[in-house]
Amino acid sequence: MTYVTAADGAQIYYKDWGEGRPVVLCHGWPLSSDSWEAQQLFLAQNGYRAIAHDRRGHGRSTQTWHGNEMDTYADDLATLIDALDLRDVTLVGFSTGGGEVARYIGRHGTARLAQAVLVSAVPPLMLQTDDNPGGVPIDVFDGIRAGSLADRSQLYRDLADGPFFGNNRPGADVSQGIRDAFWRQGLQSGHRNAYECVAAFSATDFRSDLDAFDVPTLVIHGDDDQVVPFEVGGKASAARIKGATLTVYAGAPHGITDTHKQQLSDDLLAFVRSVP
């Protein structure tokens, strides 16, 4: 298996498939790079070098005690991009991974980037605050934390069987395999890492990071996302990022890497190809 070493010694696992201009994929909570496998394979088969890493504390990366917050996640991503000496990168983030993308740009700039993509992503700010009144109440995230402490395995089952893939909507037909894959990846994460990541994805304010975007940016979001509501996530990010293109998946849930995997793969490929 392939790893890069972070500043504090943590081992960050990554998969590096194909050849061509690089596309780097950042995954959601509590998942791993496996959640990108459909898009990673598709991009690699279509002439691009598709790279996906496991965030620290997730998947096959080190379950560190410290560093379970966005600044460190972004610095780990910078370590990966620098170690592989990647240039003209299309940087793609799903859900919490969208936070990594935003914070990476906020802390490390866009010198190595050609494009950015946010998919069902948590920026600008999920948490309801005085200056973000349309956000999600903290009770929701406290409930996730309580569920994690009480029965983490069942929490992941409930998320996969319900809101994550929209399987709680009339007519939904999400396979048992897709839901099992979510559960399997979730339990690969460290207990403390996944617990602390709830604060990282919900309470980190990415608004100033989004103001630093100066590369072509595509925002993709389902308008029936029950995890990161469209109004809080994609719509607000697209309005804040200068020149961003917003693509709305009508009726789509949060987990569109699986539920809309071919549509998402096609849209990513078209966007990547828009750069010579």
Please write down the HEC assignment for all residues of 184-222.
HHHHHCCHHHHHHHHHHHHHCCCHHHHHCCCCCEEEEEE
Instruction: Show the tokens assigned to 71.
Output: 């600044």
User: Rounded mean pLDDT of the chain?
Assistant: 98
Helix axes 96-108, 70-83, angle to 10 degrees: 70
Q: Which residues pair with 22 in a beta bridge?
A: 49
Low-confidence stretches of the chain (pLDDT beneath 70): none
Q: What is the DSSP string of 136-191?
A: B-HHHHHHHHHHHHHHHHHHHHHHHHTTTTTTTSTT----HHHHHHHHHHHHHS-H
- The pLDDT value recorded for residue 129 is 97
pLDDT the model gives residue 1:
85
Contact assessment for residue 61 and residue 10, using Cβ atoms and an 8 Å cutoff: yes
- The secondary structure element, H or E, covering residue 24 is strand 22-26
Spatial distance between the Cα atoms of 147 and 117, rounded to a whole number of angstroms: 31
- CA torsion sign, 100 to 106 to 111 to 116? positive
CA distance readout (Å), 219 to 62, 94, 139, 172, 234: 30, 10, 27, 24, 6
Domains of the chain (ranges; CATH) run: 3-273 (3.40.50.1820)
